[in-house]
Amino acid sequence: NESQSTSTKKPFEGKTITVLCGAGLMKPMNELIQNFENETGAKINVHYGGSSELFGVLATTGGDIFIPGAYKYTEDAMKKGIILNDTVKNITYHIPVIAVPEGNPKNIRSLEDLAKPNVKVVMGDPNACAIGKVAKKILEKNHLWENVSKNIVVKTPTVNQLLIYIATDQADAAIIWEDMVTWAESKGKVEVVEIPKDKDIIKTIPTAVTIYAKKDSNLEVAKAFNDYISSDKAKEIWKKWGFIPCK
């Protein structure tokens, strides 16, 4: 067809797709989009937000590519039948760690320390956000859930709240995604306590093309983008921003 007839002309010139992307992925995603646009001439509208907001937008009015903060949301979307199931790809790992305020006042060194008396723990709501669900599973796996539960002062619907509460000293510890705390850690707002690999549950961040891409006849571009961000070439960029790409 036309766009390929002239080799100088970029393949997707004049095409626009919309990407719904977890806000935590903003830095690498911005770079990836820039590269993709330069190469293909397509225009990418990216819409960052919390996974659940993105899910809400997707469910009500659509978007061509869906990249939430955790696989769970893609799964929900697949159940609703708005995802092209064969396009689902994992991009990076999502690693839970323990975040504590600057100086680590309660001296938290391990998961077990979360169960110590007088430790105020903030947790994601296991039903509401991916990190909540994972955190609960990790604690259950280590038989700590019951004891840590007593220390939980609040279960938050969003992951952002966890960071805010730790950074402002409202709580002593939280389980949170590693990529979320890299910035804050480097600024000395929070400290990170790694969870040993065997005790941890590592999640993945997926990307997928939605059925709306079909409707808007953007399928071709969407698929190309979907492939691009999970390509080997893209992995370098993910790494650069502190993510660990999936094999």
39 binds, among other proteins, ligand MOO, none (CB under 5 to 8 A by kind): none
Provide CB contacts within 8 A for 35, sequence distance 6+: 237
Q: Does 28 bind ligand MOO (CB under 6 A)?
A: no
CB 204 to other proteins: min, Å: 18
Q: Beta partners for 207?
A: 89
The stretches of 64-177 forming alpha helices (DSSP H) are 71-79, 130-141, 145-151, 159-167
Say whether residue 24 binds ligand MOO (CB under 6 A).
yes
Indicate whether 144 belongs to the interface with ligand MOO (CB under 6 A).
no
Q: Are strands 121-124 and 173-177 parallel, antiparallel or unpaired?
A: parallel
Q: Which helix (H) or strand (E) holds 237?
A: helix 232-240
Q: What is the DSSP letter of 7?
A: S
Contacts with ligand MOO by CB under 6 A: the residue count is 12
Among 89, 136, 155, 235, binds other proteins (CB under 8 A): 155
Among residues 3, 11, 27, 228, the one that binds other proteins under rule CB under 8 A: 27
**Least distance in angstroms from the C-beta of 124 to ligand MOO:** 7
**Residue 97 touching other proteins (CB under 8 A):** no
Rounded Cα distance between 94 and 202, Å, is: 6
Evaluated on CA atoms 36, 42, 48, 53, the torsion sign reads negative
Closest CA to 102 of 158, 152, 172, 156: 172
Is residue 131 at the binding interface for ligand MOO, with CB under 6 A as the rule? yes
Number of residues that bind other proteins (CB under 8 A): 56
Q: Which of 14, 38, 56, 233 binds other proteins (CB under 8 A)?
A: 56
Give yes or no for residue 211 binding other proteins (CB under 8 A). no
> Does residue 22 touch ligand MOO according to CB under 6 A?
yes
Under the binding rule (CB under 8 A), the answer on residue 129 touching other proteins is yes
What is the rounded distance in angstroms from the CA atom of residue 177 to the CA atom of residue 159?
A: 9
Contact positions toward ligand MOO, by CB under 6 A? Answer: 22, 24, 50-52, 69-70, 129-131, 158-159
